A = this chain, B = another copy of it.
Amino acid sequence: MVPVFKAKEDKIMKKIINHPSQVVDEMLKGMLYAHSDFLEGIDETRVIIEKDKQPTVGLVSGGGSGHEPAHAGFVGEGMLRAAVLGEMFTSPTPDQILEAIKASDTGHGVLLIVKNYTGDVMNFDMAKEMAEMEDIQVASVLVDDDIAVEDSTYTAGKRGVAGTVLVHKILGHFAHEGMALNDLKSLGDALVTDIHTLGVALSGATVPEVGKPGFHLGESEMEYGVGIHGEPGYRRDTLKPSREIAKELTGKLMSEIMTKKTKKIGLLVNGLGATPLQELYVFYNDVIEELAKYDVEIVFNKIGDFMTSIDMTGLSLTVIRLDDDKRTVALEAPVGVLNW
């Protein structure tokens, strides 16, 4: 019996797990035990899929584990058809994605929603090529909402973070309404250009198999612009009051979204895993007061943990352009998933 998990540097990792290498599989088993009324697994894979598949385009998403409730918590009627779970913070492999695609297709094709990371893009691309060889229609939408990262030919481009969940919800609604694959793809491609996110961290995330935080922040430090895998951000600073964090994030996000003369927006305040809900609301209060400076109407909001980074403390703010009311309707539509 190994009662404690010695990490590097002999630090003990405080987690309720059995063994670092078993976390993903045991979590998956736990999910299937808990939600077998409407979800099932696919043998020999780490795919979680709806039991009851409507004859519509199937939305498949996924990525590394560690972002729970993303993505399995969003599988169900009106959102995703299947989620593919990779190793912790590591994209799933093409064969697993392929199984999810095959099982999700009802003859209407499959839409992949992929977060923009080199690994995810390549693995989903390979799966798409394999599925096409099996004559399944597949399209994909790439989400790259994280404006902390420069988008240029000299980088891998912006990352996909919490805004991905809004893409799941909006496209999931239209798929559920019977929209065709091509139309979903065009709608999705336009949508992702209207979603922008910025995150801050107060501490790094600890991958169980690594055993120590991905980065270390000093006792009075925070970092602006972190990614959801412990990617470093654009600035390290002393810990600031919520009001100032709200000011910095809304400022950057609004200047991005106002390039399109936006009149209506939606907000997503996303906890990164270990942040109390009370802090998300304190922060939301500051965001709203900050937004009084802008001539925009807030027509949608969502506050909670949606795209986490294991046990990171911090949050992200997502702003989505909602001038097209159809998007808002899609966001507000009832849905049969666990964690929306």
Q: Is the CB of B27 within 8 A of A281?
A: yes
A270-292 residues with Cβ-Cβ distance < 8 A to B are 273-286, 288
Q: Taking the nearest CB of chain B, how far is it from the CB of A56, in angstroms?
A: 23
Q: Is the CB of B278 within 8 A of A276?
A: no
Instruction: Out of B15, B34, B277, B288, name the residue touching A305 (CB < 8 Å).
Output: B277
Q: Is the CB of A281 within 8 A of B30?
A: yes
| Residues of B close to A239: CB separation below 8 A | 3-4, 12, 14
The proximity string for A residues 4-20 relative to B, scoring 1 for CB distances below 8 Å and 0 otherwise, is: 10000001101111110
Q: Taking the nearest CB of chain B, how far is it from the CB of A63, in angstroms?
A: 14
Interface assignment of A315: CB less than 8 Å from any CB of chain B:
yes
A244 CA to B19 CA, complexed, in Å = 12
| Residues of B close to A19: CB separation below 8 A | 241
Interface assignment of A104: CB less than 8 Å from any CB of chain B:
no
Q: Is the CB of B241 within 8 A of A282?
A: no
Interface assignment of A26: CB less than 8 Å from any CB of chain B:
yes
A308 CA to B26 CA, complexed, in Å = 24
Q: Is the CB of A245 within 8 A of B12?
A: no
Interface assignment of A251: CB less than 8 Å from any CB of chain B:
no
Interface assignment of A313: CB less than 8 Å from any CB of chain B:
yes
| Residues of B close to A278: CB separation below 8 A | 23, 27, 65-66, 68, 310
Q: Is the CB of A30 within 8 A of B311?
A: no
Q: Is the CB of A285 within 8 A of B241?
A: no
The proximity string for A residues 297-317 relative to B, scoring 1 for CB distances below 8 Å and 0 otherwise, is: 000010111001011011100
Number of A interface residues at 8 Å Cβ cutoff, please give it.
Answer: 67
Q: Taking the nearest CB of chain B, how far is it from the CB of A67, in angstroms?
A: 9
Interface assignment of A193: CB less than 8 Å from any CB of chain B:
no
Known: A11-B219, A219-B12, A310-B276. A18 touches B305 (CB 8 A): no
A33 CA to B291 CA, complexed, in Å = 12
A285 CA to B31 CA, complexed, in Å = 8
Known: A4-B239, A219-B12. A23 touches B311 (CB 8 A): no
A288 CA to B23 CA, complexed, in Å = 16
Interface assignment of A214: CB less than 8 Å from any CB of chain B:
no
Q: Is the CB of A23 within 8 A of B282?
A: yes
Q: Is the CB of B274 within 8 A of A311?
A: yes
Q: Which of A30, A68, A304 has the most B CB atoms < 10 Å from its CB?
A: A30
| Residues of B close to A264: CB separation below 8 A | none
Known: A4-B220, A26-B282, A241-B18. A274 touches B276 (CB 8 A): yes
A16-66 residues with Cβ-Cβ distance < 8 A to B are 16-19, 22-23, 26-31, 33-34, 65-66
Q: Is the CB of B16 within 8 A of A202?
A: yes
Nearest chain B residue, comparing its CB with the CB of A291: B33
Extra contacts, 7 of them, besides A23-B282, A68-B278 (Cβ < 8 A), are A16-B245, A18-B243, A28-B281, A30-B283, A30-B284, A65-B278, A273-B274
